[in-house]
Amino acid sequence: MSRGRTALVTTGLAFGAVAGGVVARAALRRRRDPEADEPLSRLPPEDLGPVESFDGTPIAVRASGDPSFPALVFVHGFSLDMTSWHYQWTALSERFRCVLLDLRSHGRSGRARGGDLSPEAMGSDLAAVLEAIALEGAVVVGHSLGGMSILAAAGAHPELFGAPIRGVALVGSAAADLLRGAMGSITGVLRPRLGTLAQAARRVDRLRRAVLAGPADVGHLIARITQFGPDASPSVVSYVVGLAGRAPTEVWTQGLAELMDADFRSALDRVTVPALVLVGDHDRVTPPASAMALAAALPNARLEVVERAGHMAMLERHDVVNARLAAFADEIWGRS
């Protein structure tokens, strides 16, 4: 895809990601939505938080599943929250202890103390949660920013890998070079030649607020095209753009700038446990090429492509993602 076309498509992502969750009624009513009645905002039943992170930021933590089961810990992506793992915890808690957290300034967690919204701080949020809940072992699953937070934890807390972290699954993630993907193209389009990522992120946030103040149908359709695969449920699209639209301003300014500038390639050799890298074949935010590079650089990783999925594979093709996560976790614990 040419640079100009990429810029056009991914500028649309800025509109779509913040559209506020209004369904494009005329276009989407024509197809039946099997997910229309799914309670996507439902929370896991057990409240394990708040957990205090390294700087005093309170981190929301919830769980489902028998505490004696092998554990899966889920870390969500940029501007989302733990409910983005709805289909995973509701299905997999029949066989696994599912623990979910909201990263700082996201969801039900507190605003970042001192304003630190770096992936490194979020990696320390994960470390604090793992220490507080005292799991004997876990497979940690991260989506997008959540995956980068796991890599940040590997850089700052390598002692976690082996025990309690026995394996990692990275969904729609990358170690660096996000400026080459869709989210980076947004900031690139909005950044003046000599401007900074922080300035570009502030422009993205102003665009976000402008879209929220105006009609959202077009933004919703653009989000569907740029963030999702061809079979995505309209209700899921609406829910995701609603989450993104409600994220605090500092997530879209400082947090986005920190994310675009992140580089955790030096931490990859510290991920000494088995790793599963999942990517949708329609992912335009962290494209398959980024996933291939990530899997190749990790010491013990395999890459699996989720067909007909975009950046939100865990919501779009949840049955496929659940099966692959369960199979990977069973391998880690030696279960057949």
Does the pLDDT of residue 201 top 80, yes or no?
no
Complete DSSP assignment for 166-185: EEEEEES--SS-GGGSHHHH
Residue-wise pLDDT tens digits, 116-164? 999 999 999 999 999 999 998 999 999 999 999 999 999 999 999 998 9
- Quote the tokens at residue 17: 């990601």
Residue-wise pLDDT tens digits, 76-104? 999 999 999 999 999 999 999 999 999 99
Residue 39's pLDDT is 97
Confidence of residue 206 (pLDDT cuts 50, 70, 90): low
Residue 194's pLDDT is 42
Residue 255's pLDDT is 85
Share of the chain above pLDDT 70, in %: 77
| 72: β partners | 98, 139
Which superfamily, per CATH, for 3-333?
Alpha/Beta hydrolase fold, catalytic domain (3.40.50.1820)
249-261 in b/e form (b: 16+ CB < 10 A) is ebbbbbbbbbbbb
Where residue 155 falls (left for φ over 0; alpha for ψ -120 to 50; beta otherwise) is: alpha
3-state helix, strand, coil in the chain (%, to 5): 50, 15, 40
Coil, strand or helix: which one is 9? helix
Coil, strand or helix: which one is 212? helix
Share of the chain above pLDDT 90, in %: 65
Residue 43's pLDDT is 98
- Mean pLDDT across the stretch 246-270? 88
* Domains of the chain, residue spans: 3-333
- Token look-up 């099997």 returns 34
- Token look-up 């992140």 returns 262
Does the pLDDT of residue 30 top 90, yes or no?
no
Position with higher pLDDT, 111 vs 335: 111
Does the pLDDT of residue 205 top 60, yes or no?
no
Residue 224's pLDDT is 74
- Mean pLDDT across the stretch 175-188? 56
